[in-house]
A and B are shown apart, each in its own frame.
Chain A
Amino acid sequence: MSALAAVLAILTSDTGVRVAQPEPERAIVVASKPFGESYLLAEMFAQLLEARGFEVDRRLGLGATEITFEALRTEAIDVYPEYTGTGLLAILGEQPSRDPREVYRKVARVFRERWGARWLPPLGFQNTYAIAVRRETARRLDLATLSDLARVSETLSAGLTPDFIGRADGLPGLGKAYGLQFRSVRALVPAVKYQALAAGEVDVIDGYSTDGFIARYDLVVLEDDRAFFPPYEAAGLISARFQREVPTGVAALTELSGLLTEAVMRRLNRRIEVDGIPIPRVAAAELRALDLVEAAPEGSGVSRDVRSRGVFSYLWSQRQTILSLTLRHLLLVGVSLTGAIAVALPLGLALERSRRAAEAVIRSVGLLQTLPSIALLAFMIPLLGIGVVPALVALFLYSLYPILRNTYTGVRDAAPEAVGAAWALGMTPAQVLRHVRLPLAAPVIMAGIRTAAVINVGTATLAAFIGAGGLGDPIAAGLALSDTRMILSGALPAALLALLVDGALGRCERLVTAGG
């Protein structure tokens, strides 16, 4: 019982920092999407709320707009930073507009009417797409504007985010406005496109005007000389429930409105994306600079975290965090795998007795396996919200198939002549199962469990995208910040964990088989 309590305590614990005394009745759930600026703004929201005495539950780095907005719509989260353009185009599916104020008014009205969600007054900076090339390319081809680019676009290859390739205000519109025709267009996720550009794999990418990476990789942003990209404003997006239940918290967040200029954001993004300074420190420093938070006596620069530091000393410095994330990861895997064994094993045995139904049932469970993990996680949100519960359910579903398939096949094919003899000599069906079929099928069943466990450890890193924590957190954040050390601080323990879990189950297998 106390072990269960401990498990629940760790599963529900919050890895973030708490500062102030909790005055209101519940923690405010602050979320972000998985890219640097979103992490930073959410962290500023969180620290501001904490400074005003609210308790905060951070769910940073949720996967993509669909997941994060779905979580807000279903009131699983209270607030996250969003862009009016994304609201207009990606969420409402409307046509782009040239006037940022008009866009803000429109999303504010429709979101309120449709979902009761509220856009806070804009934070003060506009962000828009920026088309960038390497400095060397710009010099060689004499590029300064997008019109210049159109001249030579047939000789260049582009690496663009899938989002940008599809959106009306992305490549299709841009191509028409400037007559762009790239030699090739490759879909690249944000995490790799800068490296791809720097490595010369592609010549042109899309970025954001406030991007820190543009400076980090010494890129040249081409001027939008025909003003194609409409500028959009960043603002806090508030759930109906947050506004209803903690209006004072919403009011506290509006203190940030209008204070963050483009120059400020570019500087802050550089600090996290180029200098590698931890996001909480950058957020805290800026809130102090804006006089929103009193200068608290902080552990002054003890953990100076510059990118020059080596991987291993970084991992060592993060050992406490890594340990607690690993523990959380292990619990996600352990609970979901145990649940899957508890369901798939008896189901496999039952199907062995009604073989006509077996293939149909096993195949439909197998279909679950073909669902992309992110899609499955997104489906979960309306039903189960975000956090540990939907992650456990998704991991549970992914673990079913290998265990079910191997149990069924293993028991069905286990030494038929021995089963026949045991039956003919008077074993009951239960005795045949317990003393003959199961022990003989044990290696095959264990192989299924081991397969499920290793898949589970890997898939559990995606749980970060629905705010369930675990080793996926530093991987998602590291990808967003293009910080290899941070990615490794999640990926290395995850790989190690997969090996350990497989090894431990291998040991169990030998015990089970020897015990027969």
Chain B
Amino acid sequence: MLDAAALRAENITKRFGHVLALDRVSLEVIGGECVALIGESGSGKTTLLRCFNRLVDPDEGRILIDGVNATDLDPITLRRRIGYVPQDGGLLPHWTVRRNVALVPWLRQIENPHRLADRALALVGLDPADFADRWPRKLSGGQRQRVAVARALAASPDVVLLDEPFGALDAITRADLQTTFLRIRGELGISSLLVTHDIEEAFLLADRIAVLRQGVIEQVAPAAELREAPATDYVRQLLLRARVIAA
């Protein structure tokens, strides 16, 4: 099973100036698994996420993608292979929904990118006939995030990175998108790494949860284990504060 790790970080250290963002962090995402990164602002969770598509290159340690050292991969090619959903959607405002979703297939010169885009739209619950020709600014916040998810999936990647994808949405819309995400995970069997500040969301969506504190991983464990046996006092306090466990 270990050899099947879709993503693996080994002893990653990253500094920004004098700030130590990641301190000898190791983590793996096994094929088909969803791992959530939780922690307070500045704990390094987004930095770690961005190491996997080489938006950040670590100072020390190594990143393996499907067993291959990331530094041996061309970053552009790597990014086209990995799905990515940012918090704010990041849709190109001057492109229609269909063209946005077709972005990665188009970049990878896959035949008929628009057909793939329409399929991805249907997958996230948006009728292409209704939505494909709309402009991003004509969509609601929830629809925009669905389009962003569809864009990450259009070229059928094995791995998707999600950086607080539902963080800016209202509670009901967020719940709808979480349900959609769970369904898609089940259907496609993709591996995913999810950064979230919402611990309940992490418990709902992820197989395992990694708790980061000031660039150090405090604990990586499935939800139940985390709840029952917090490895450190910090993890216990974090779960208490989030009211995931009772005092």
> A386-422: contact bitstring with B at CB < 8 Å (1 yes, 0 no)?
0000000000000000000000000000010110111
Interface residues of chain A, those whose CB is within 8 Å of chain B, are 415, 417-418, 420-428, 431, 435-436, 439-440, 513, 516
Question: Are B104 and A439 closer than 8 Å at their CB atoms?
Answer: no
Question: Are B76 and A415 closer than 8 Å at their CB atoms?
Answer: no
Question: Are B94 and A425 closer than 8 Å at their CB atoms?
Answer: no
Residue of B nearest to A442 (CB): B94
Q: Which of B26-34, B81-89, B116-124 is found at the contact surface with chain A?
A: B81-89
Taking the complex as formed, is B36 at the interface, i.e. its CB lies under 8 A from any CB of chain A? no
CB within 8 Å for A426 and B80 given contacts A431-B107, A516-B95: yes
> B90-125: contact bitstring with A at CB < 8 Å (1 yes, 0 no)?
111111000000011001100000000000000000
Instruction: Choose one: A415, A425, A428, A516; the contact of B103 (CB below 8 Å).
Output: A425
Q: Could you tell me the distance between the alpha carbons of A285 and B91 in the complex, rounded to whole angstroms? A: 76
Instruction: Choose one: A421, A439, A440, A516; the contact of B90 (CB below 8 Å).
Output: A421
Given A424-B55, A425-B103, A427-B107, 18 more A-B residue pairs with CB atoms under 8 Å apart are A415-B93, A417-B90, A418-B90, A421-B89, A422-B90, A423-B79, A424-B79, A424-B90, A425-B151, A425-B152, A426-B79, A426-B108, A427-B76, A428-B76, A435-B92, A439-B94, A513-B94, A516-B94
CB within 8 Å for A425 and B80 given contacts A417-B86, A420-B86, A431-B107: yes
CB within 8 Å for A426 and B93 given contacts A417-B86, A421-B86: no
Question: What are 20 A-B pairs with beta-carbon distances under 8 A?
Answer: A415-B93, A418-B90, A418-B91, A421-B84, A422-B90, A422-B92, A423-B55, A424-B55, A424-B84, A425-B80, A425-B107, A426-B76, A426-B78, A426-B80, A427-B76, A427-B107, A435-B92, A436-B92, A440-B94, A516-B94
Taking the complex as formed, is B77 at the interface, i.e. its CB lies under 8 A from any CB of chain A? yes
Q: Could you tell me the distance between the alpha carbons of A415 and B77 in the complex, rounded to whole angstroms? A: 24
> B40-61: contact bitstring with A at CB < 8 Å (1 yes, 0 no)?
0000000000000101000000
Q: Give chain B residues whose Cβ lies under 8 Å from the Cβ of A423.
A: 55, 79
- Interchain nearest-CB distance for B131 vs A (Å): 18
Q: Give chain B residues whose Cβ lies under 8 Å from the Cβ of A415.
A: 92-93
- Interchain nearest-CB distance for B70 vs A (Å): 14
Q: Give chain A residues whose Cβ lies under 8 Å from the Cβ of B53.
A: 424
Q: Give chain A residues whose Cβ lies under 8 Å from the Cβ of B92.
A: 415, 418, 421-422, 435-436
Residue of A nearest to B53 (CB): A424
- Interchain nearest-CB distance for A439 vs B (Å): 5
Q: Could you tell me the distance between the alpha carbons of A436 and B76 in the complex, rounded to whole angstroms? A: 16
Q: Could you tell me the distance between the alpha carbons of A418 and B91 in the complex, rounded to whole angstroms? A: 6
Instruction: Choose one: B80, B81, B91; the contact of A421 (CB below 8 Å).
Output: B91
Most chain-A Cβ atoms within 10 A of its Cβ — which of B80, B81, B90, B93? B90
Residue of B nearest to A420 (CB): B90
- Interchain nearest-CB distance for A50 vs B (Å): 61
Q: Give chain A residues whose Cβ lies under 8 Å from the Cβ of B86.
A: 417, 420-421, 424
Q: Give chain B residues whose Cβ lies under 8 Å from the Cβ of A436.
A: 92
- Interchain nearest-CB distance for B150 vs A (Å): 12
CB within 8 Å for A426 and B90 given contacts A421-B84, A431-B107: no
Q: Could you tell me the distance between the alpha carbons of A428 and B91 in the complex, rounded to whole angstroms? A: 17
Residue of A nearest to B83 (CB): A425
Q: Give chain B residues whose Cβ lies under 8 Å from the Cβ of A422.
A: 90, 92, 103
Q: Give chain B residues whose Cβ lies under 8 Å from the Cβ of A426.
A: 76-81, 104, 107-108
Question: Are A425 and B84 closer than 8 Å at their CB atoms?
Answer: yes
- Interchain nearest-CB distance for B195 vs A (Å): 13
Q: Give chain B residues whose Cβ lies under 8 Å from the Cβ of A516.
A: 94-95
Q: Could you tell me the distance between the alpha carbons of A440 and B94 in the complex, rounded to whole angstroms? A: 7
- Interchain nearest-CB distance for B238 vs A (Å): 28
Residue of B nearest to A415 (CB): B93
Q: Give chain B residues whose Cβ lies under 8 Å from the Cβ of A417.
A: 86, 88-90
Q: Could you tell me the distance between the alpha carbons of A423 and B78 in the complex, rounded to whole angstroms? A: 12
Residue of A nearest to B107 (CB): A426
Q: Could you tell me the distance between the alpha carbons of A337 and B227 in the complex, rounded to whole angstroms? A: 68
Most chain-A Cβ atoms within 10 A of its Cβ — which of B80, B92, B104? B92
- Interchain nearest-CB distance for B23 vs A (Å): 24
Q: Could you tell me the distance between the alpha carbons of A440 and B137 in the complex, rounded to whole angstroms? A: 14
Q: Give chain A residues whose Cβ lies under 8 Å from the Cβ of B151.
A: 425
Residue of B nearest to A427 (CB): B107
Q: Could you tell me the distance between the alpha carbons of A439 and B99 in the complex, rounded to whole angstroms? A: 15
Question: Are B95 and A425 closer than 8 Å at their CB atoms?
Answer: no
Q: Could you tell me the distance between the alpha carbons of A428 and B77 in the complex, rounded to whole angstroms? A: 10
Residue of B nearest to A419 (CB): B90
- Interchain nearest-CB distance for A267 vs B (Å): 70
Q: Could you tell me the distance between the alpha carbons of A420 and B90 in the complex, rounded to whole angstroms? A: 7
Q: Give chain B residues whose Cβ lies under 8 Å from the Cβ of A431.
A: 107
- Interchain nearest-CB distance for B132 vs A (Å): 17
Q: Could you tell me the distance between the alpha carbons of A431 and B109 in the complex, rounded to whole angstroms? A: 14
Q: Could you tell me the distance between the alpha carbons of A513 and B94 in the complex, rounded to whole angstroms? A: 9
Q: Could you tell me the distance between the alpha carbons of A424 and B92 in the complex, rounded to whole angstroms? A: 13
Q: Give chain B residues whose Cβ lies under 8 Å from the Cβ of A428.
A: 76
Q: Give chain A residues whose Cβ lies under 8 Å from the Cβ of B94.
A: 439-440, 513, 516
Most chain-B Cβ atoms within 10 A of its Cβ — which of A426, A431, A439? A426
Most chain-B Cβ atoms within 10 A of its Cβ — which of A415, A423, A424, A425? A425
Instruction: Choose one: B88, B93, B104; the contact of A425 (CB below 8 Å).
Output: B104
- Interchain nearest-CB distance for B95 vs A (Å): 7
Q: Give chain A residues whose Cβ lies under 8 Å from the Cβ of B77.
A: 426
- Interchain nearest-CB distance for B83 vs A (Å): 8
